Amino acid sequence: MEWVPKRWKPSKTRSPREVCSLRNESKVGYNLLMSAPPQNRDEMNENSPPEYAVRMENITKRFPGVVANQQVALRVQAGAFHAVIGENGAGKSTLLNILYGRYQPDSGRVFLHGREVTQSLHSPADAIRNGVGMVSQHYALIPALTVLENVLLGAEPTGFGGVLKCRAAITRIHELANQLQIASLDVNQRADSLSVAAQQKVEILKALYRGANTLLLDEPTATLAPQEAESLFTLLRNLVEKGTTVLFVTHKLREVAAHSHAVTVLRAGQNAGDFITSETNEAELLHCMIGARSNSAGQPLIPFGDVTETEGYAGDTWAATRPAVSGSPLLQIEAVTVRNSRRVEVVKSATLELMHGEIVGVAGVDGSGQRDLAEAILGLQTVSIGKIFLEGSEITRDTVAQRYQKGVAYIPEDRHRSGMILDFSVTENYTLGHHRQDNWGGGTLIHPPIMTAHTAAMIQQYDVRISELGALIPARSLSGGNQQKIVVARAMQSAPKLLIACQPTRGLDVEAARFVYRTLEQARREGLGILLFSLDLEEILQLSDRVAVMFNGRIVTVLSTAQATPEEIGAWMTGAKTGGTEA
Amino acid sequence: MGNGWLMALVTSTLFNATPLALAAMGGVLSERAGVVNIALEGFILLGAFVGFYFGLHSVFMGVLAVVVAGALFGLLHAFFTQKARMNPVVSGLGLNLLIAGATRYLALRLFPQGDHIAGLSPNLFLSLAAVLPFLLVFTLQQTKFGLRLRAVGENPESARMAGISPTLPRYMAVMLSGVCASIAGAYLSMADAHTFTSDMSAGKGYVALAAVIFGKWNPLGAAGGALFFGFFYALQTQLQINQYHLNWLGVEWTSPFLLDCLPYAMTLLALVSVIGRATPPAALSQEE
Amino acid sequence: MKLSLNSQSNLFRAVLSILAGFVIVGVLLKMSGYSPLQCYQALAEGATGIRSGKPINLSDRGFYIGSWQGNFSPYTFAQTLATITPLLFCGLAIALGLRAGLFNIGALGQMTLGAMTAAFVGAIGAHGSLKPVAGSLPHWAHVPLALLAGAVAGGLWGALAGYLKAKRGVHEVLSTIMLNYIALNLANYLAMHNLKDPNPSNMAAQTGLIAKSAWLTPIVAQSSLTVGLLLAVAAAVGVAFLLWRTALGYEIRAVGLGAEAARTAGIPVSQILIKTMAMSGALAGVAGALEVMGIHHRFVQGTAGDYGFDGIAVALLGGSHPFGIVLSASFFGALGNGANFMQIQTDVPKTIAVVVQAIIVLLVGLRFRRTESAKPLVLAEKEGRKDG
């Protein structure tokens, strides 16, 4: 650890009672924090009174083969709006999960409101008892249970014989819903009938129902439209003003700058710096996040710097440097409707065209039918109505294997479930889908020597880092970035014409993401058409020639790069704007 | 024939459905908590054996032993699948094999002559089988235990995030499942046959599991499934008792062998027609 | 062949499970008043055909041991080898299913129908009323034909379960259990009615004898050991070849380890499931045909015995690997035949072998893990950095 932490502490030490009173006079507390930047912040005083809602010291957490957190410190002022930032893989979520009791640190100490809880923090139940609530990215509400059941779960008011007593609880839930400005909440509605944004608010409600005074949020805006994210932050700011401590993890610097009071930066599992938001700027934070790898301040998060230098391009985005797209359409989707296994229409009459050498980004709130559309193009889902053409010939009824043969390639969204077989070796994974092709020696038999040779060439070309055991080790033991390299390499192996890429950089660190972007750019220059499905607007805006927006199963509009601003896309994503191309 | 035959069929249906319904309630409990329970078959056989053996001494002892044995073997299945992370199908098959082998061995050692007991009134079991589904609906929907059970069955990780450990509800559910199924077995030996014969469960545990799926993991639906399958067991026995004879196209349709197929064939048909529209508890399919 | 890196620990686990099974059952035997050592000695003698200690005269206890060669009874050992044959076939059948992620509990039914069909085809040219076709066949044609018939019947019965799983979503454990009962009753019905033994003195459910041209001759006089054992070993090699050298086998393993990824890669998962179940059923069907052609020379009630379920233990103990299954089938074959011998010699019911088998299944399936490493491994890959 060679960095010098810019720790800070408040100018005035307050007793817990004062902290409490600050919470009641919320405005004052907020202003105090913002307007009175602490002095002497390089000074450390271990004996200072417990005004930190959260204090984590020297946290180290190892997973098999990986150090997720190494000697990490985190201090969160009570009543603060505190952000933890870092790239994917920096250890942010691990830190949050330790605080919520889901993981136990290998070493280090955890304090909540000055009281050490290291030894008693064994499960989320312990964290909840200590006033900590968490809104997680993945394991949110239980879809099959009602809102009421989800909120009560784990904090059930019961009468004789364990029978639930819901009446008082429902009143309390409605009170909280009013406070949080959740309009017309039906507590008997199934959780999965709510939108992602509404589910998130119910999760916050659930935490508050248990009396949480510290709220943890893990990448809360990852699946939200810009407007929804804005509304979420308004809600959170209200909570902070009422005295709740909010700690959120993100990699979006804009959010940090706009909303937080203080920032902790993690890099590669270690502390990289602590800042008061009002005293820093995005460039400084970025530099801190990326470290020595950044060569200039203000470099965009998506690493085009490299591409521009090494590939001889200039300009901020690729779009600006692209040759004009021309010729006949590569992919035509004509009024395609897809029904899921429960006969619900998940894609409704979607129409889209993709040219050779073009990247069309598909934006939308999570669950707007993007995955279903992608799978329909691949043939993984059946098209109920409508047609799909590849280079003018219809592929609507072709099998998946036939479509691959005709030049479709796919980078699936869920690497572990759909992308690879974790217990297969690297070689077997790389062979997957090619195993019957002639140049793989395929047919009735498979030929391990040919498979091995192909894999060795791929490992060389894509710089996959595998241990000395070589390509026989199961893919499970590779890092996420290396796994994705194999998935991408496999997709590109058969010289495809069309690439369907679904969230190709999800969960990857910057270096692996760069690899993916470079590969996409390379493919596009070679004339491939790429359909890029992503929840990350920034990614879509930077990469796409045109942006299609999906809302509620429909492609509601297709915007040119000139029209596509985050606000415009957001308006379409949330259904604030309707109409457009669909007629 | 006529009316009497119909009455006999109805009564027979009810009593054939009784053990199926009791075991199916065990299936509902276990599966709603996210634990696949093939061991129902073994638990039935276990209950039949233990109820008979201890019932030889006193009926009360018999019932007590059935409950304790069911809970213990349920605990074993829970331990294997939860703590030891065993594939639930392997654990279930292993337990079925263990119980089948051990009861056959012990029956040969302990009562080679095949004793008989007075046992209990079948009506007792019938009443229990009639009340239990409603009790279970209430428990699942209206109690803390039921809510937690459903939560861990749907998504154990989310339940953990909500501050509850999936372990306790699952262990409880699988133990209760063992109790239900072994009571179903006790019906067979103590109230129906009044004796124990090896392999007397004869696939009823699997049929009960089919009833659970048929009833879409809902207690009342599962009880309905049990009645449906019970009807075919009843039909089969009534046709055999009445020595009804039908030879058509050169096939002895009323041969005991073909009649024996009836409940199993109907179970298979029911599964084919129901599944696809039914959504199992989410965690069931994720179990590795 | 691909050998997994932890095959050594698998072997260790298997041996440990077997030992534990014997210890637990030893306690049970002791508790029920037997001498475990005496029992296990008898078991070993029955399994190997080698007598130790003082010579035992078994003929007066009604147990045929054939002629002695010194301390060795070739007949008894041949019976052990004969028991291995159906176990090996059923173990392979179940392992093949497991490789595709399917629990084929239906080997019993598939074997039964295989036996019945082989008995039917084997009766070509036989005397009596059970004659599908007039005329007779030469030995070299009749044997393969009957075996093939058994394979086809078992395969179709297996494919039915595969179809129900792939197209209708019926869990294969339930469907195969139900199909077992149906197959057993169906075969018994045929043996009782339409294909019944024409000999009027026979009341039991059994067919007439098959033609001599379909008989398999015993390798050791009077024993049940036939060329079937060689076929079983060849089948093991064949399954290994299928799994690791053919595209179909690769697809089977892909579906078993990651059905979603296989589907995404364009592998027709439904077809693979059906094909796998068909091949699995065919292996069990051959086992049934061999029982008919080599031992009973007719279909009798219970021809398939418990081999279908024993096969589950064989497959699990053998780690679903064809060569592991050769070892575990040998073990369970020895256990089974040894238990027969033990029952005669010590009065211990041979069903105790089932208890040993169950304990082994349960212990071999144990997978203790540290509670934390399972899920966070995935998270760790996403969150953390490669260490070194």
Residue type, A413: E
Please state the separation of Cα B96 from the chain's center in Å: 13
What integer pLDDT is reported at residue C367 of this predicted model?
A: 67
Give the one of A67, A417, A507 whose C-beta lies nearest to C261's C-beta. Answer: A417
- Read off the pLDDT band of A512 (50, 70, 90): confident
What integer pLDDT is reported at residue A293 of this predicted model?
A: 52
Determine whether the interchain pair C246/A445 forms a contact, defined as Cβ–Cβ distance below 8 Å: yes
What integer pLDDT is reported at residue C332 of this predicted model?
A: 93
Determine whether the interchain pair B252/C189 forms a contact, defined as Cβ–Cβ distance below 8 Å: yes
What integer pLDDT is reported at residue C53 of this predicted model?
A: 62
- Read off the pLDDT band of A579 (50, 70, 90): low
Q: Give the three-state DSSP class for B198.
A: coil
What integer pLDDT is reported at residue A286 of this predicted model?
A: 81
What integer pLDDT is reported at residue C8 of this predicted model?
A: 65
User: Rounded CA gap, C71 and C57, in Å?
Assistant: 12
Q: What is the mean pLDDT of residues A107-135?
A: 91
What integer pLDDT is reported at residue A508 of this predicted model?
A: 82
- Establish if A293 touches chain C: CB-CB under 8 angstroms: no
Instruction: Provide the β-strand partners of residue A266.
Output: A271
Residues of B in contact with C193 (CB under 8 A): 251-252, 255
Residue type, A161: G
Residues 6+ apart with CB under 8 A from C93: C104, C107, C110, C158, C280, C281, C283, C284, C287, C311
User: Rounded CA gap, B129 and B177, in Å?
Assistant: 14
Q: What ipTM describes this predicted complex?
A: 0.87
User: Each residue of A224-238: pLDDT tens digit?
Assistant: 888 888 889 999 999
Determine whether the interchain pair C254/A88 forms a contact, defined as Cβ–Cβ distance below 8 Å: no
User: Rounded CA gap, A499 and C49, in Å?
Assistant: 66
Residues of C in contact with A423 (CB under 8 A): 257-258
Chain A, 301 to 330: residues with Cβ < 8 Å from chain C are none
What integer pLDDT is reported at residue A581 of this predicted model?
A: 45
> Measured in Å, how far apart are chain B's first and last C-alpha atoms?
53
Residue C323 in tokens:
């060569």
Which residue on chain B is closest to C256 by alpha carbon? Answer: B288
Residue with tokens 């319904």: B21
What integer pLDDT is reported at residue B270 of this predicted model?
A: 87
Domains of chain A: 1-131+213-299 (3.40.50.300), 140-210 (no CATH), 356-368+398-573 (3.40.50.300)
Residues of B in contact with C173 (CB under 8 A): 38, 89, 206
Write the DSSP symbol of residue A445: B
- Establish if C263 touches chain A: CB-CB under 8 angstroms: yes
User: What average pLDDT does the structure give for chain A?
Assistant: 81
What integer pLDDT is reported at residue C122 of this predicted model?
A: 85
Segment among A385-394, A435-444, C259-268 with least mean pLDDT: A435-444
Segment among A314-328, A563-577, B177-191 with least mean pLDDT: A314-328
Determine whether the interchain pair B87/C365 forms a contact, defined as Cβ–Cβ distance below 8 Å: yes
Determine whether the interchain pair A139/B145 forms a contact, defined as Cβ–Cβ distance below 8 Å: no
Instruction: Provide the β-strand partners of residue A135.
Output: A217
Chain B nearest-CA distance from A162, in A, is: 5
Residues of C in contact with B199 (CB under 8 A): none
What integer pLDDT is reported at residue A531 of this predicted model?
A: 95
CATH number of C7-383: 1.10.3470
> Among A130-144, A300-314, B51-65, which range has the highest average pLDDT?
B51-65
Residue with tokens 């069929």: B9
Chain C nearest-CA distance from B106, in A, is: 9
- Establish if B137 touches chain A: CB-CB under 8 angstroms: no
Chain C nearest-CA distance from A91, in A, is: 5
Domains of chain B: 3-280 (1.10.3470)
What integer pLDDT is reported at residue A38 of this predicted model?
A: 40
Residues of B in contact with C354 (CB under 8 A): 97, 100-101, 104-105
Residues of A in contact with B148 (CB under 8 A): 153-154, 156
User: Each residue of A72-116: pLDDT tens digit?
Assistant: 999 999 989 999 998 777 888 889 999 999 899 999 999 999 889
Determine whether the interchain pair C257/A103 forms a contact, defined as Cβ–Cβ distance below 8 Å: no
User: Each residue of A449-489: pLDDT tens digit?
Assistant: 888 888 988 888 888 877 666 778 888 888 888 899 999 99
User: Each residue of B100-114: pLDDT tens digit?
Assistant: 999 998 888 888 776
Q: What is the mean pLDDT of residues A257-285?
A: 88
Which residue on chain C is closest to B257 by alpha carbon? Answer: C185
Residue of C185, C299, C305 whose CA lies nearest to B256? C185
Q: What is the mean pLDDT of residues A206-234?
A: 89
Helix (H) or strand (E) holding A442: none
What integer pLDDT is reported at residue A363 of this predicted model?
A: 92
What integer pLDDT is reported at residue C55 of this predicted model?
A: 53
Determine whether the interchain pair A125/B144 forms a contact, defined as Cβ–Cβ distance below 8 Å: no
Which residue on chain C is closest to A472 by alpha carbon? Answer: C2
Q: Residue C354: exposed, middle, or buried by beta-carbon count in 10 A (0-12, 13-18, 19+)?
A: buried
Residues of B in contact with C32 (CB under 8 A): 109
Chain B nearest-CA distance from C382, in A, is: 18
Cβ count within 10 A of residue C13: 18
Q: What is the mean pLDDT of residues B276-284?
A: 66
What integer pLDDT is reported at residue A114 of this predicted model?
A: 87
- Read off the pLDDT band of A21 (50, 70, 90): very low
Which residue on chain A is closest to B276 by alpha carbon? Answer: A341
User: Rounded CA gap, A357 and C162, in Å?
Assistant: 44
Mutant choice from B138, B144, B167, B286 vs A, greatest count of A C-beta within 10 A? B144
Determine whether the interchain pair B101/C188 forms a contact, defined as Cβ–Cβ distance below 8 Å: no
Query: Between C71 and A43, whose confidence is greater?
Result: C71
User: Each residue of B12-70: pLDDT tens digit?
Assistant: 999 999 999 999 999 999 999 999 999 999 999 999 999 999 988 888 999 999 999 99
Residue with tokens 């010579």: C55
User: Rounded CA gap, B281 and B1, in Å?
Assistant: 45
- Establish if B162 touches chain A: CB-CB under 8 angstroms: yes
Instruction: Provide the β-strand partners of residue A100.
Output: none
Instruction: Provide the β-strand partners of residue A77.
Output: A52
User: Each residue of B134-171: pLDDT tens digit?
Assistant: 999 999 999 999 999 999 998 888 898 898 988 999 99
- Read off the pLDDT band of A139 (50, 70, 90): low
User: What average pLDDT does the structure give for chain B?
Assistant: 88
What integer pLDDT is reported at residue A332 of this predicted model?
A: 92
Q: Where are the domains of chain C?
A: 7-383
Residue of A542, A436, A430 whose CA lies nearest to A484? A430
pLDDT above 90 covers a percentage of chain A that reads 38
Segment among A203-207, A392-396, A507-511, C308-312 with least mean pLDDT: A507-511
Residues of chain C with pLDDT under 70: 1-8, 53-65, 127-135, 367-388
User: Rounded CA gap, C23 and A413, in Å?
Assistant: 50
- Establish if A158 touches chain B: CB-CB under 8 angstroms: yes
Determine whether the interchain pair B275/C174 forms a contact, defined as Cβ–Cβ distance below 8 Å: no
Residues of C in contact with A93 (CB under 8 A): 379, 382-383
Determine whether the interchain pair B97/C185 forms a contact, defined as Cβ–Cβ distance below 8 Å: no
Kindly list the partner chains of chain B, i.e. chains with 3 or more CB atom pairs below 8 Å: A, C
What integer pLDDT is reported at residue C61 of this predicted model?
A: 55
Q: What's the helix, strand, coil split of chain B in %, to 5? A: 75, 0, 25
Kindly list the partner chains of chain C, i.e. chains with 3 or more CB atom pairs below 8 Å: A, B
| CB distance A328 to A391 below 8 Å | yes
Determine whether the interchain pair B159/A163 forms a contact, defined as Cβ–Cβ distance below 8 Å: no
What integer pLDDT is reported at residue C266 of this predicted model?
A: 93
- Establish if A445 touches chain C: CB-CB under 8 angstroms: yes
| CB distance A302 to A504 below 8 Å | no
